[in-house]
Structure 1
Amino acid sequence: MVNRYLAVVLGSVAALALTGPVHATSSQQLNFSMDATPSGQSDAGHWTAGCLPDAAVPEDAACVSVAGRGDVVRTERKNGTTTSPAIKFPMKGRAVLVVPHTPRLNPGTADFTVSAIVRLERSQVTTGANVVQKGNYDNPVGQWKLQLDRGVPSCRIAGMRNGHLVGLLVKWPRSIAGSGWQTVTCARRGDVFSIQVGTGAPAVVHNASMDIANQYPVTIGAKSTGVHNDQFRGSVDEVTFQIG
C-alpha cells in the first residue's frame, strides 16, 4: 500500500500546489494509543495488514504495510500497576504504519508537537531508526520527524524560508537504548525547536521558523517498506501530533 501511495505522490508532487494546514477543532491532529487491534487481525499480533484507528480524528487510520517477511506484533508497556497495549516492530523484514496525507498534518509556520513513548533494547539499535515522520530527508518542500538513530533521540524539521529550503536538527545528548520505556517529545515554539526525554531538561536549538508542508503520508516505524527504509526495530506506544 505505502509503495503505491508514495509512487503516486512522487509522480505528481511537482504538479500539485501545497495547501496550508487546515486545523481540526482540537489542536490534536493524531493520537494513536495502540490499544486497538488492526481491522481484520487477531489480537495476538504478527499483523501484516489492517488499520489502527485515530482517537483524534476518526476518519484517519494508520494502516499496516510490510515487506521482506516483516510484521507488527503486540507487546505491553507497564503503566504504574497496570499495563498498556503497545506494538513492536520486527527485528528482520520491514513494517510501517501509514497515515495518508491530509493538509492538516502540515504545520506550516505554526507551533507543533510530536511525541511517542518508545522502548529500544541495545540489541535493536541501528544506524537509521525513524519512529514517526511526514516527508523524507531529500523532500524538496519540507519534513518533520522523530528518530532514534544509533539509539539517540533526535528531531528534524525542514521547510521553506524566504524562498529557500532550510533544515534543523536537535539531538538528545545520549542514547536511551536499554533504559526501558521513554517518552520522547519534539516541539517547535516560534523560533525554538526542542527535544525532551521524560521529564529531563529539553535540548534546544534556534532558527526554527520555516514553512513545513508536503504531500507525503505520515509513517510510523519507518519511512516506507523499501529496502533502505530506516526501520525502527523497537516498540512504540501513544504516538501523537498536535498543532498549536
Structure 2
Amino acid sequence: MIVVLTHDVDYSRRGPGLDHILRRRERFEEWVVERVLREGFNPYFGVPRVVEVEEGFGVRSTFFFRAFYDDGETVEGYAGVIRDLLGRGWSVGLHYNDPGRVGEEKAFMEGVLGFRVEGTRGHFLRVADFSVLRELGVKFDSSVVYSRGGCDARNAGFFDAGGVVEFPVTFMDAYMFTYDGMSEERVTSFIVSCVEKLREGGVKLATILWHDSSVYMRGGRVYPEVLRALSRFELLDMATAYRMVAGNEL
C-alpha cells in the first residue's frame, strides 16, 4: 500500500500577519504565540518543519505552491525555498487559484522558477477542466474529493482523467478536524485504520493533504505521529507515484 504525502502552501512567505494570528491564538500553544510576539515568528510558514519531520523518517512529499497569493505576493517569494526543496528530493506543483486561469498561473510559476510544472491541485479543491490541464502539459492532478468525511474508498486510488492522472484526496487535515470533528488523539488511529481497510479492499494508494500552515496548530501538530504510524506503508511524493502509474508499476 502506497500513501502519497502532499502539502498545500496557502499563505505567502510573510504569512497572514500578527493580527490574524493573535485573533486565533487559541489554535496555538503558548510557546508559539510567545515566539510570534518576541521574534516575529510566522507559524503559518510550516515548510521547514514539514521537511524536518519527513527527513527524520527518510521520506519525501509534494508541495503545491500558489502562483499568486491573496496579499499580492507571488510564488517568487518562495523561489529559494522551492529550489532547496527540489535539490533535496521533494517535488513541487502548482496550487492554482482559478480553474479558468490555470494556464496563466502555470506559465507565471514556470517563468519565475525555471522548470516545467507537471502536477497541480486546485485551491479549495476546485477542479479545472482535465482537457485544459492535459493541453497545458499537466501530467497529474489531485483536486477531486467525492465526500468530505469518513473513510470513503472513492477518495482513494487514482484514475485516468482524459490523459491526466488524478489522485483523489483521501485525507485532509482541515476536513478531519472540522467536518469529522476529530480530536488530536483520534486522528492518527483513524488514518491508519482507514488505510488498512482500503488495502484490504484492494486499493493500492491513498493520498494525504496536510497543510504546511497547520503543523504548529492544535490538531495539525500531530503530523509527526501520523508519519510514524504510517511508516509500515510505502510513503511517497506524488511525482514518484505518478511515474509508477505511468510505468504500469501500480
> Structures share a fold, TM > 0.5?
no
TM-score, with normalisation over the residues of structure 2? 0.27
Looking at secondary structure, tell me which structure has more helix per residue: 2
TM-score, with normalisation over the residues of structure 1? 0.28
